[in-house]
Structure 1
Amino acid sequence: MDPPYYILFSTQPASSSSLGHPTIQYQYADDSPLALLPQHPDEHVLLLDYDQTSPVPTVNSTSRTLAVTGIKVEEAPGAAVAENRHNDRMYIIEGTTVPVEDKLLQLSSERPSPHVIIAQFKQRKVNLH
């Protein structure tokens, strides 16, 4: 079966949840990996790796301010009536923003101590669960 044709992205900060349509760019094995880098500071690049032998693809974020928390496959309302027959399901990539304190540390010109890095890691794990 073909993978779902539609992809949505859902952000879930503590105060709200929103769905959006990402811009999709296909990357092949012989393409330059530099194309995967963000083009401006507010751009988030997510890598969805579809493997035909796996029921669900892997998704990773290259952004320092956005973390992928999961991916779901759901029905895509109205997709079955489209003229071009595609897989009428959709991927919903779930993500969350990095807390403001972490963003401020990233903007700092000082390199954080190992203790700060470990504390950030532990806090991010708590935020993802």
Structure 2
Amino acid sequence: MDPPYYILFSTQPANSSSLGHPTIQYQYADDSPLALLPQHPDEHVLLLEFDQTSSVPTVTSTSRTLAVTGIKVEEAPGAAVAEDKHNDRMYIIEATTAPVEDKLQLSSERPSPHTVLAQFKQRKVNLFR
């Protein structure tokens, strides 16, 4: 199977959901891993590892404020009639962002155990919605 031709991402903070088109950069085994580092503080880097022997790729996030929660593989509407033959599946990377208070906490002093526990419980609720 060819690599995915259509890739979208869906971010789901606590009160909204949106689809977006990521900027795609191909990274090969002999390329420098430094190219995978974010270029500015608000950039999120997601690594989609495509293995031709597997039906579903793996996805990880290098961001401290964006966590991958899953990947869906679906039919891409209209892709089968395209002139160029390519993988006609659509890959939707599902992710969740850290709440604003979590982002602030990442840049400050060590949080209290009560704060860490509250954040853990909230993240767990967000992941299993």
TM-score normalised by L of structure 1: 0.87
Larger mean Cα displacement after TM superposition, 10-19 or 40-49: 10-19
Q: What amino acid does structure 1 have at the position aligned with 2:6?
A: Y
Shift of 1:3: 3.4
Structure 2 residue runs without a partner (length 5+): none
Q: Is it true that 1:4 corresponds to 2:4 in the alignment?
A: yes
TM-aligned CA deviation for residue 79 of structure 1: 1.3
Runs of 5+ unmatched residues, structure 1: none
Measure, in 2, the Cα distance between the counterparts of 1:72 and 1:11: 13
CA deviation after TM superposition for structure 1 residue 53, in Å: 2.0
1:60-91 deviation line (CA, Å, top 9, x unaligned): 11111111110000111121222211121110
- Paired letter, 1:33: P
Q: Secondary structure at the match of 1:6?
A: strand
Bigger CA drift: 119-128 or 65-74?
119-128
Distance 1:114 1:52 in 2: 44
Map 1:1-129; keep pairs closer than 5 Å.
1-108=1-108, 110-112=109-111, 116-117=115-116, 120-129=119-128
Size of the aligned set, in residue pairs, is 128
State the 1:38 CA deviation: 0.6
Is the Cα contact below 8 Å between 2:14 and 2:126 reproduced in 1? Answer: no
Give the counterpart letter for 1:125 in structure 2: K
Quote the Cα distance in structure 1 between the aligned partners of 2:31 and 2:63: 20
Identity %: 88
Distance of aligned partners of 1:37 and 1:85 in 2 relative to their CA distance in 1, 3 Å threshold: same
- Distance across 1 between alignment mates of 2:16 and 2:116: 27
